Amino acid sequence: MTDQKVLLVDGMALLFRGYFANSYGGYIRKTKAGLPTNAVFGFVKYLLDACKTFNPTHIVCCWDLGSKTFRTDKFEGYKGNRPDAPAELIPQFDLVKEVVTGLNIPNISFPGYEADDCIGTLSKQLSAHMDVLVLTGDHDMLQLVDERVKVIIMKKGPSNYAVYDSEKLLEEKQLTAKQFIDLKGLIGDTSDNYPGVKGIGEKTATKLLIEYLSIDGILENLHQLPKSVKTKIEADLEMLHLCRELATISCDAPVTCLPDECLWQPDQQKIFALFEELEFNSLVKDVSRFIAVS
């Protein structure tokens, strides 16, 4: 058998990407019965392409469950700027999980936790047994990179990936995975709607982390900082600590998945039947060459 490696899939990242990539000019792919399927179609295409590209022996798909998490308990505005999901996407939330089950891939989630936390937790559990690949479009996941964990960022266009290990992260971002948490604590995250330290941008934050290694190191050396930077940090000290907490992916969420439970063993005939039911005809004729063989 080839070397074992598990693909941990950020389900919502693929689903939303699939929706917007397959809604050109307002056209929404639907079955003859009127069920919207454009997001699920895109999701499957992205997933199968990743299987073809990275040849995982195991796969898990992780999901967000809703807007209320332990982070919204800490900061009410967390992700408060997110627009409502498009109406045609809503029925596809349940449908995509049915499709994932049909592909013999486990769906993992837990109330109060985000998909990021499930992925972080499973990356720690499964890296004890095999290499881990995290498939996402979310740069927050870069904090999970370690000796046996690589993060695959999906970029625009088919089969276009940026694969980060520790060396690539340091080379491109000038930071370690752990420092990436502190970066978000300093600069915040507009997509997740937490502010960080007002007036501190990525360039300044990166420079500070390179010199002082961490937020704690920066705070221990506040007296050495330029007055303007020192003033900004002192004015937002409480928010800085809160944003670092919000940015930190939990790696002890109450989820588990054993290697035997996520072995990638697709049933081609089952998949053919599933795709025919969803009227994914172009995928039916191509699926056999996409499926990775254990």
Instruction: Decide if pLDDT at 81 tops 90.
Output: no
Taking alpha carbons only, the member of 277, 294, 284, 285 closest to residue 98 is 277
The whole-number pLDDT of residue 218 equals 98
The whole-number pLDDT of residue 291 equals 58
The whole-number pLDDT of residue 294 equals 40
The whole-number pLDDT of residue 70 equals 95
Instruction: Decide if pLDDT at 157 tops 90.
Output: no
pLDDT confidence bin for 290, thresholds 50/70/90: low
pLDDT confidence bin for 268, thresholds 50/70/90: confident
Average pLDDT of the residues in 97-108: 96
CB 250 within 8 A of CB 121: yes
Average pLDDT of the residues in 14-35: 92
pLDDT single digits (tens) 205-214: 999 999 999 9
Average pLDDT of the residues in 108-118: 97
The whole-number pLDDT of residue 2 equals 55
Average pLDDT of the residues in 171-179: 95
CB 132 within 8 A of CB 259: no
Instruction: Decide if pLDDT at 66 tops 60.
Output: yes
Q: What percent of the chain has pLDDT over 90?
A: 85
Distance CA 29, CA 31 (A): 7
Please tell me the least confidently modeled range out of 36-45, 200-209, 274-283: 274-283
Rg of the chain over all Cα atoms, to the nearest angstrom: 20
Residue spans of alpha helices (H) in the chain: 11-21, 38-54, 70-74, 90-102, 115-126, 166-173, 177-187, 202-212, 215-220, 227-235, 237-247, 268-277, 281-290
Distance CA 147, CA 127 (A): 9
Tokens (6 digits) for 100 = 């994932």
Average pLDDT of the residues in 256-262: 97
Distance CA 59, CA 261 (A): 9
> Treating both helix axes as pointing N-terminal to C-terminal, what angle do 268-277 and 90-102 enclose, rounded to 10 degrees?
160
Map out the domains of the chain with their CATH numbers: 5-169+249-290 (3.40.50.1010), 173-247 (1.10.150.20)
Residue type, 70: F
pLDDT confidence bin for 293, thresholds 50/70/90: very low
Instruction: Decide if pLDDT at 18 tops 60.
Output: yes
Beta-strand pair 161-164/149-154: antiparallel
Average pLDDT of the residues in 245-251: 97
- Which segment, 71-85, 142-156, 279-293, is predicted with the most confidence on average? 142-156
Instruction: Decide if pLDDT at 292 tops 80.
Output: no
Tokens 């982070």, residue located: 71
Average pLDDT of the residues in 162-189: 96
